[in-house]
Chains A and B, each alone.
Chain A
Amino acid sequence: MKKNSINDDLIERYLDNTLPVVERELFDERLKTDPTLSKEFTDRIMLQKSWVKVTMHNQVKQNIGHVITIEKQYRKILTTKWLAAASLVVIIGIGSLFFLQNNQNTKDREFLLSSKGINKDNGEKMIQGRQNEVIKYGSVDSLVKNKPDVNKRYSPADNAVFNASDTILFTWPANDMKGKLIIFDQKGLKVLEKSIQTGLVEYKLLPSRLKPGTYTWTIPTDELKHQFLIKN
């Protein structure tokens, strides 16, 4: 053990090149003749080589790991950016749909109040009729659910309520009219039949033409009958 220790010191001093010339020559000579020293020297060199290789291996591996982490992090950022952009497009798309829907509703309302044969007074009466619907169904939501199909533009809508003093405005899609508007009373008796010129889309029924009661109205091409009520 002591000899090994002495050899270790000698080897380190030999590698440092700090041995005096004579001792260095002696060491070189011993390397050739002393198998123990020769083995220790070879092991020392082999261990140093392995140690340095291990360090180099770890350095390279660490560097690769670092680069891969950066690449993954970058991809993550890129993915997040794409997702954010896609979300923005979806939000804008949904917003546009809402906007277009609202725009369509406004246009329908403007159509009903437009100057095409409807004066302001009649328009207000139409609005009044709708307000009555609100009272009947109890909320704006229910009105929205029960409002007439604006695309077909049949008015008065089902279950609309009017006062006897109201002028009632009948409207229908232009293409549907084929000659006449018919109104039935509660017993199914025809109480009014009005010839309409092709192309007209509305008819105003002046106040007091009908007694208070429940009526239905239809036009021949429209299979549905629309019910409305006239109060005192």
Chain B
Amino acid sequence: MSPRRGTLAFLYALPFVLLFAALLVGRYGGGPGDVLRALFSADGDGILRSVVLRVRLPRAIAALLVGANLAVAGAVLQGLFRNPLVDSRIHGVRSGAAFGAALAILVSGGALAVQTSAFAFALLAVVLVLCVGWRLGAAPLVLILIGIAVSALFDSSLGLVKYVADPLSKLPSITYWLLGGLGGASWSNLVPLLVLSPLGLGFLFLIRWRLNVLTLGDDEATSLGVRVRPLRAGAIAAAALLVAASVAQAGTIGWIGLVIPHVARSWAGPDHTRLVPASAALGGAVLVALDTTARTALASEIPLGILTGLLGVPAFLFLLGGYVRQKEGIR
């Protein structure tokens, strides 16, 4: 089960390699040589330089961060709940963010208002789940059930918003936003993601060994001197922060939080000291690759949520097959 050094080194380098490659590729045309010339020499194509620095770069960075955030949040939540089927959906984060964004679009808020509202409602959803859950003992099952209830609350509210939205402008905007995509990423709206991602990722990275202890279950972890409730709440809050910031930027994107941790676990093992960085690297790499495809393959953008689904579903089934075979092998 112990991963080889080489595999991990490759994995950690992958997102940065893909990030660089993403800068060289795009609809505007010109090969890598043109891009390098545009960036570094005085007589390069000015518009190409602008495209690379103002369009491709912020977008690729956004993809990297969103992929890493969603993957790490998924990995942490799966460990906390000792359940390989968990992802951020259970906490109502995505439903809250979707509702917040739709509401902002409905009242004609600008892009900044949409992002802020999505983020605020995502956090509200998590706060609701944690507060109610804390009163009831914050046991994993209780948190999941409350999360389902909160998700349902925001989902129906979203339905109401869609019902009253003007079908010419507001409703298409809402639908478009919900499909997920990084088309609107630019330096001006990237700041929240750039600030919040290191905070959330950093915290989870620092406590990653302690998360191992939490996988033992509450009683055992307590007997080892760990304060379980605050640690779990803190980890959930950090994961929620990452997901909220990501959804506010990129809309609702599925499968990354669910599938990437499983793949990372099969390479790096269940020990969070390796799993957390491996999930971040793999999630970032995959999303950069998918987003580059989304914006380059056709003249019109392929919604990111569709690409992650196309990749995620077969990957999930493949992993499921391996998991079942492995289980039977042990017996």
Q: Are A and B genuine complex partners?
A: no
Residues of B within 8 A of A (CB): none
